[in-house]
Structure 1
Amino acid sequence: MASDLSAAGATPVAAAAVPAGLPWGVAVLAVGLAVEALASRTGGAAGDRPAALLGLALTSVGLALAGPGLTHVCGRLLQAVRPGALRLLAGRVLMAEAARIGRPLGVVCAVLAAAYAMASLQHRQDATSGPLVTLGVLLVAGCTLATLLTAAVEARQARAGTTEELRRLGAPAATLRKAAVLRALALLALFGPLTLVVAELSAWPLSR
């Protein structure tokens, strides 16, 4: 059964090339973090607030650009160091769907990081603007999450034929569900800490 699943993971789900936006996304993200770090070294003067906001915008764009590439890398890491059939299958699916789900996932991480940074800025602003800022953040986050869910549904529909082929080759339904859970955990393990780091670095110069 394991050999059948290994063959199923290697044949129906073909490995895709690394998305071209990864180097640009990492570069823009690094520039954004550098701008925010430079703004934080000046002691949080009022004139440096635009620089901090520019850095926040750059980091958000960098996360969105790097999303597909990071998803592809996540799938490749799942297959590293003598992978079993389950990791091989989950990794191949992530690599194949990196371009489809990576961009919305990167945008979600960017929105969450920006929302955290803007929440830290809200404490220094007029309290009357708080509800409007919160409403705007919730609206953008809701639209972004809806886009991510739509991309996930489209990806599931796109691989429906592959799923049927895997079942025909003898892959149990429980194994396919475990592979889906493993993909979700792998993405959370990569994008979760990255979002937290970017959010903290973005909030630091804005809250000073």
Structure 2
Amino acid sequence: MKLLAIGAFALVSLVASTAVAQTQGPQNPGPNIPGVCVYFNQRLLATSTAGQAVQTRMEQLATEVQGELAPYATSIQTEITALQQGGQAADADGSRRTALQARIQEAQTLEQTRQDELRYTLSEQRRLISAAVEPILVAVYQERGCGILIDRESVFILNPAMDVTDTVIQRLNTALPTLSFNRLPVPAQAAQ
């Protein structure tokens, strides 16, 4: 079933942010350009306490969903095996196959619903983190005298003195030390 894919998706989307390629920088990183600041949101999501809480909880929720769907997979596989071994005599009127098809459809629908819930839950937690980070970024931008704030993903090599990410992470850890949440149902308007 696709459940492993959604669990992997949630895990990879969070863990991949920590696996960003770090190159051995040059011996002389160049000048600290006044007014140019760089921020790395992926590192914040991977290393802040709130980001790590989201990653841990999403892994737990994916495991819960797997546990919820496992009985469907087991009963479906058992019924398929029974029908294959019993041949035509096991389902002379076709009612077992019809019931099996309905069970498969029910499992697929539930799996899709849970995948959508996990995606929505992850996006909502990231939205909460972003809402908490925005005023911190504005404050750091003003304190550092930034004239421009560049996304770290757009920069290959930079002078570390221009990177404000660590400051933002420290302040976020104070402002939003963790997040506690459960799987969220997808609102009707978002599902359409």
Q: TM over 0.5, yes or no? A: no
Q: Higher relative contact order by CA 8 Å / sep ≥ 6: 1 or 2?
A: 2
Between Structure 1 and Structure 2, which shows a larger proportion of helix residues? 1
Q: What TM-score bracket applies, with the shorter chain setting the length?
A: 0.3 to 0.5
Structure with higher strand content: 2
Q: TM-score, normalised by structure 2?
A: 0.39
Question: Is the radius of gyration larger for structure 1 or structure 2?
Answer: 2
